Amino acid sequence: MSFNEVIDNINTRIENIISTRLPNTYQHIRIEPSNYNPSIDDTITVTITVTNQSETPVTDFTVPLTINGESITGLTTDNNGEVEYTYTCSDFGIVKFEVNSYTSFIKVEGYKTVSDLTGISIYHNDHEVNLVINHTQNLLSTSDSEWRDLAVSSIPSALKPRMHQFSLTVDKRVRVRVKNDGTIQYQSDTYFGTGKSVQCNLCWLI
């Protein structure tokens, strides 16, 4: 028997002794998300598989899963050495799943709908906000200096623009602005008349 064969034999015997007395010492762990690039608010399944050095499933193993450093309790492997965890993607960016020294990552992207209210919808990702206005209620003429509030006049504080945002609407006699306090307003010239609607898009960075 060669020197290398002797060393391999000794290592194997040591592993077998340890795995018999401490069966959870040697583990191979796989962390497999069902989607590595989900959209915000998606729900995915994270499958964790635990085997020993012989690739035999490790059953009834308490899995110390952490997600971005937060511990998840109550996970135990079944007869196949597997356990599933359902994760809702409530935050944008990279999410790290970790079990002992084994890790897996997903990246959450897409747009989140904050509101879909009468005439106004707000969509955002982790760096920009899109405000879509399709206001079908009757609007009034204003003076050149007068601004009137639209039906919805508040934006969540985290999404408010740093500076006032302006946009012309489909009818060029009307302007819409989003103030940096979140108020949504419109201004029209004195020849605008009544019974008009407003359609426009505004976008800003957050």
The token duo for 206 is: 């957050």
Per the structure block, which two tokens stand in for 90? Answer: 């409530």
Position 194 scores a pLDDT of: 62
- B/e letters for 8-23, b = 16+ CB within 10 Å, e = fewer, are eeeeeeeeeeebeeee
Residue 9 pLDDT: 62
In the predicted model, is pLDDT for residue 70 greater than 70?
A: yes
Asked whether residue 21 carries a pLDDT value surpassing 70, the answer given is no
Q: Which residues have a Cβ under 8 Å from the Cβ of 107 and sit 6 or more positions away?
A: 36, 37, 93, 94, 95
Q: Which of 77-86, 139-148, 155-164 shows the lowest per-residue confidence on average (mean pLDDT)?
A: 139-148
Q: Can you give the pLDDT at residue 135? A: 73
Q: How far apart are CA 92 and CA 39, in angstroms?
A: 8
Mean pLDDT over each residue of the chain, to the nearest integer: 83
Q: Which residue has the higher pLDDT, 8 or 107?
A: 107
Phi–psi pair at 12, nearest 5 degrees: -65, -45
Instruction: Provide the 3-class DSSP secondary structure of residue 5.
Output: helix
Residue 170: both structure tokens together:
């489909």
26: which 2 tokens?
């040697």
- Tens digit of pLDDT for each residue in 153-193? 568 888 999 889 988 776 667 888 899 888 888 887 766 66
- Domains of the chain in sequence order: 25-108 (2.60.40.10), 112-205 (2.60.40.1830)
List the beta strands (DSSP E) in 28-156: 28-33, 43-51, 65-67, 70-71, 82-88, 93-99, 102-108, 112-117, 120-124, 128-139, 148-149
Minimum mean pLDDT range among 62-71, 110-119, 129-138, 139-148: 139-148
Residue 76, both tokens: 């135990």
Q: What does 110-135 look like in DSSP terms, one character per residue?
A: S-EEEEEETTEEEEE-SSEEEEEEEE
**Tell me: the pLDDT tens digits for 33-50?**
999 999 999 999 999 999
Q: Is 74 left (phi over 0), alpha (psi -120 to 50) or beta?
A: left
